[in-house]
Structure 1
Amino acid sequence: MKVLRSITMLSVMAMLAASAATAQISLTPPGAETPPPEPVKPAARPKAKPREVAKDAIRKPPAAAPKPAATPVPDQTVTPAPVPDDPHADYVYAAYQRGQYKTAFDLATKRVQEKGDPKAMTMLGELYANGLGVKLDYDKAIGWYRRASAAGDREGMFALAMLRLSGRGGPGGGEEAAKLLASAAKLGSAKASYNLALLYIDGQNLPQDFKRAAELLRVAADAGNPQAQYALATFYKEGTGVPKDVEKSVRLLQAAALADNVEAEVEYAIALYNGTGTPRNQAAAVALLRKAARQNNPIAQNRLAWALSSGQGAPVDRVAALKWHIVAKTAGKGDPMLDDAFADMSPEDRAKAEAAARKWLGAK
């Protein structure tokens, strides 16, 4: 029986290098930590290969009926907490959250002038960095972020690090960013700990140090950062920077999957399907694959096609299976063995699958 092979260090490094932080920085009110933005893109490793979960798909699952033991992972939608209608609320942040950017700018400016508030400085940097309520101006954004950083605001440090790593603000961005991330991490920023770990993994702006990277990933993972949970799961699976521990790896994958990390959903599905580090539950595995497939993950689409064609974890549905195979092929995840598996389909069923695939692709 061929099973899904597990995650590799190379695959996670390629994934981490491919996910750049180009979106606006999410600010937090005093004392809170928001879900992190996508990680910064350290300089790409020249030998990194495209991300691939496994070459072996779900080919010939065991003939015995599955014995579900794990609880299926439910869909969860994370919504930001509402801004409290309270006299003591941070009105600058509240205006920003409501999209009232000009009001946020005016209030932040007043706070800086009257109180020298570093969080208001970070807000001004945020508005200039993204052209919200004011004309986009990276130089002014960097200036405000620098003032906020000097005043000890971890969000300002993190935002400035992201801009410096993106090449803004002149030469030496990587070195300055590493120092800023280290300072923000010491102040409790999970986002900074995660991105600093990426720099240690990459080994260009900082010496490559997987042990130190693992320590930082653990801090961020414990704080609920799903990207860190996924990366640390890979470390535990491979024994990179930490003792090898498959069960810890799977628990981290489960946590990241619950937080809607798509890569973790696919990997946790693999673990559930094979019973690796967790009781086998093929029904839960297929449910996760289906969820990830609907989020346009081609690996999940390919694996779902195999599951639906074999009837392991879900009733056989060759029309749906061929649909997902076609969709995965369109995204570059071809599979000659699946081509052969569907060769005997009737023209009517093939037409249904192709129409379903076109509908899905047209709706993207």
Structure 2
Amino acid sequence: MKHHIKFLAIKVCLLLVSFGLQAQDLTGTWEAQQNVNNKKYKLSLYLAKTPGGGYVGITLIKEATTFKINTSNFNLNNLSNARVNFKSNVGDKKENALTQTVASFSKGILNYSDLGIIGQATMNVRLDAGSFRYEKSKGKEKLLQNNAPNVEYTKKNNDFPGEYEAYVKDLIEVSGLKFVNSEKTPQIKYNDRGVLSFSVKNNSDYDLQRINLSMTMLETNAEIKGMEGNNGTFSLAKQKGLNPEADLVSGFNLPKDSIHFTVTGAFNNVTLFTKKFSLATIPFFLNDQTTVNKSSDQILSVLKPYYGFDKAMSAPIVTGLNQFALSGNKMAPMWKAIFTVMGQGGYSGDEEAGVALGRKAYKDVLSGARNGDAEAQYLMFYAVGFGLTGDASRNIAGAFLKRSAEAGFLPAVYDYAKYLARDSAYDDSYRYLMIAYNKGLVKAAADIGRFYQMGYSVGKDFSQAIEWYKKGDAFGDPEAMMYLARIYDLNDDDHKADPKKVVLYAAKAANLKNTVAINYLARIYLDGRVGLPRNIPKALALYKEAAALGDNVSMTSLAYLFLDGATGVPKDEKAAFTWAKKAAQAGSAACMPLLAHMYLEGSVTPKDVIISRFWANQARLHGTGDADNTAQQARSNDFMNVLTNIDLSDQHTIYRDTQTGDLYSSNDGPDLLGGIFKSFMGAYKNRRENQQMQINGAKFIYSSGNKKVYGATLSSKVSSNIMLNAGQKIKIASYGRVNFGMIAGIGGPDGIGGFQSYCIDPTMPHGSVMVKVASGWTLAGSNRTLVAPADGVLQFAVNDSDAANNQGYFDIVITVE
């Protein structure tokens, strides 16, 4: 601990130990010497254990008398503005002061942070921090300071003065820890969200401005996400209490009996409290074994034309699957959901309709999967992908698929092979593809051919690839047909292009409503190649045919063709806007920046900055947009303003001799501290005079099924036009970086530590994104799902009472169900 000699003679410190990590007993008297300005000072540090197992310390420093003449510094080149005060304080004696320090002792290291001077207002800054290293050698115990001024304490005895007993207390008191899941019971349930709450009280005389809350788990295989909610950083006023809450989101991987947690609160890297507890679990899997039940034979029979079982020819399965669903099979709606979302098997691609179908069967699929049914676990793979499992981690999807594949459920074997290929696990992927094909799943032939064409796991061999593709073509698989069209469009050392076969196989696949093939043919007609003449009307008609099937690639092609007016297509910016909007809403990353530009420029559609920022942010998320460097640029500007305003000219001091009254002057050189302070104040003034444009608002973007999607941009605070009913579910995702000021720095939607005195709600991180319906701010942060507590308007705020000084914006996506 640094000892500021001119300020204090006695220092009081509270030292809180990390429980169970340190066996040494530090109770007793420790002594050290410190040299300051060629004077020696004796330091006495008294330590005693608190009831909670920490330590309280009193540092006694021998009093010093100051001999200082107050002088006025001024620039000799600007004497007209100099103001000189002459006052001697020779012989003035400083009063004693007490400074309270908090620290934690763990693994032989004592980390500390000063809280402030007892009896004076608490400062919202860290006064001093550092660490001591504990050593014991030849029977002597020492505390060696790791930072300047490198004080070295030696333990003298085990006594603690009784006069300081009033300070022997724990700084933070923690109690009332409890957990409640969504069903209002105290267990952690699979795929659930619960609230962990507890009470903390500040027993000190100082406001603690930056307490960081964190949680760790003993079990490494437990799938727990969080912490969300009122966590991260909070403040705690002196002698006051608080009830922090944290959302715990569980996935499907939970241990069978219990999970062990440790909650820790830290202040300036010093541990204030550590609380250990365990929670009972309700795990997902009730049966460790996964088996293919006889009942699955029915669906496999319906799916024969899709997979090629029993040498069946490829054909739409929509009629057979719909009839199967009418038979009352509880899992049939989930199968319909899969093919509806994918737009395969004769179903039109419709994600919203598919997810709605899946939601009807989800409970039955969930029950079957928990009890070890391989078909149900395969369907759970898609349920997770569709978002039916809510907050569950997407990582578990692969685990469901693997369990089903290893049990021998053939659709899972095939899909798991493709899943492995996406992760570049080609050897295992090829092995599962061959298992699927050899057991009668002919659809795997096209994928095996792709392995030979690309040289994945097997040697690159175009002839083998064509042989496998033709097996798929004989089955009637449009994917195999498209692979043939493309391979005949290539020239290789051992393979020559064949334009006629390109058109032949692409046309066969297009006739089967394969959108990839339709787009491929459209491009051929647009360019006029492989023996076909250029035909613009035919190309546009094909693109529109694919777009009608929900294909965003064709929508994107139409948007840019009409925008550019190139290759013989008449320029039509309104048509380009219409197709760009459809494509972007359908997920086209290429059209998102285009749509953002159109809304910002305002020539084709009315100008709208908020909608423009929504699509620009979506483009960044999809990897096609430019980064928003507003916050970083503000930091660079601040630095340059500091350099511009810095004054390092020579400063002069005038002295008066109190005996004779004579005046003396001296050149003290540059006033480093004063010059730096002036530069910071100049930079601060510049920032205040050049504030950014405030953008606060929310706009409706589009509807998708029963969901409405809004976009919002936030720089301070806004009451939106989004009306909510009690019980409505709201998903909020916030993006962006904001520079909260020269001192605070840059932070994201989850906010930063400290600066609670500048917060709208000091119980939440400074600068964090908050929402409110009716009453009471709630932390939204970067990602939060909430339920409207009452009817009302959705409000947003950056948790900063001085947000006008900030640089940068938060862009928010709101989905209301």
TM-score by length of 1: 0.55
The 5-angstrom pairing of residues 211-360 of structure 1 reads: 211-241=500-530, 242-271=532-561, 283=574, 285-293=576-584, 297=588, 299-318=590-609, 320-321=611-612, 324=615, 331=623, 347-348=692-693, 358=736, 359-360=810-811
Contact 2:528 2:534 in 1 (8 A): yes
Report the residue type matching 2:476 in the other structure. G
Q: 2:569 & 2:454 partners in 1: Cα distance?
A: 40
1:167 aligns with 2:442: no
Q: 1:322 to 1:179 in 2, by over 3 A?
A: same
Match of 1:177 in 2: 465
Report the residue type matching 1:286 in the other structure. F
- Please identify which structure carries the higher strand content: 2
Q: 1:354 to 1:292 in 2, by over 3 A?
A: farther
Q: 1:244 & 1:300 partners in 2: Cα distance?
A: 26
- Please identify which structure carries the higher helix content: 1
Q: 1:251 & 1:104 partners in 2: Cα distance?
A: 42
Q: 2:304 & 2:352 partners in 1: Cα distance?
A: 24
Q: 2:472 & 2:527 partners in 1: Cα distance?
A: 29
Instruction: Return the offset for 1:209.
Output: 3.0
Contact 1:236 1:248 in 2 (8 A): yes
The 5-angstrom pairing of residues 106-255 of structure 1 reads: 106=407, 108=409, 120=410, 124=413, 126-127=415-416, 130=419, 137-138=428-429, 140-145=431-436, 147-148=438-439, 154-204=442-492, 206-241=495-530, 242-255=532-545
Instruction: Return the offset for 1:290.
Output: 2.8
Q: 1:76 to 1:214 in 2, by over 3 A?
A: farther
Instruction: Return the offset for 1:249.
Output: 1.0
Q: 1:351 & 1:274 partners in 2: Cα distance?
A: 34
Q: 1:313 & 1:262 partners in 2: Cα distance?
A: 21
Contact 1:29 1:93 in 2 (8 A): no
Q: Equivalent residue of 2:605, what SS? A: coil
The 5-angstrom pairing of residues 5-20 of structure 1 reads: none
Contact 1:129 1:137 in 2 (8 A): no
Moved more, 304-313 or 156-165: 304-313
Larger radius of gyration between Structure 1 and Structure 2: 2
Q: 2:519 & 2:811 partners in 1: Cα distance?
A: 28
1:108-141 Cα distance to aligned partner (Å, 9 max, x none): 5xxxxxxxxxxx5x7645556657xxx9934642
Instruction: Return the offset for 1:190.
Output: 0.5
Instruction: Return the offset for 1:211.
Output: 3.5
* Ranges in structure 2 where 5+ consecutive residues have no aligned partner: 1-299, 307-315, 317-338, 365-372, 382-399, 627-690, 698-712, 716-733, 737-809
Q: Tell me: higher relative CO, structure 1 or 2? Use CA pairs within 8 A at least 6 residues apart.
A: 1
Q: 1:329 & 1:128 partners in 2: Cα distance?
A: 31
Give the paired residue count. 268
Report the residue type matching 2:455 in the other structure. G
RMSD: 4.9
Contact 2:404 2:413 in 1 (8 A): no
Q: Equivalent residue of 2:497, what SS? A: coil
TM-score by length of 2: 0.27
Q: 2:561 & 2:616 partners in 1: Cα distance?
A: 22
1:154-197 Cα distance to aligned partner (Å, 9 max, x none): 31312322343453442144432221112211321101111222
Q: 1:238 & 1:161 partners in 2: Cα distance?
A: 28
Q: Equivalent residue of 2:467, what SS? A: helix
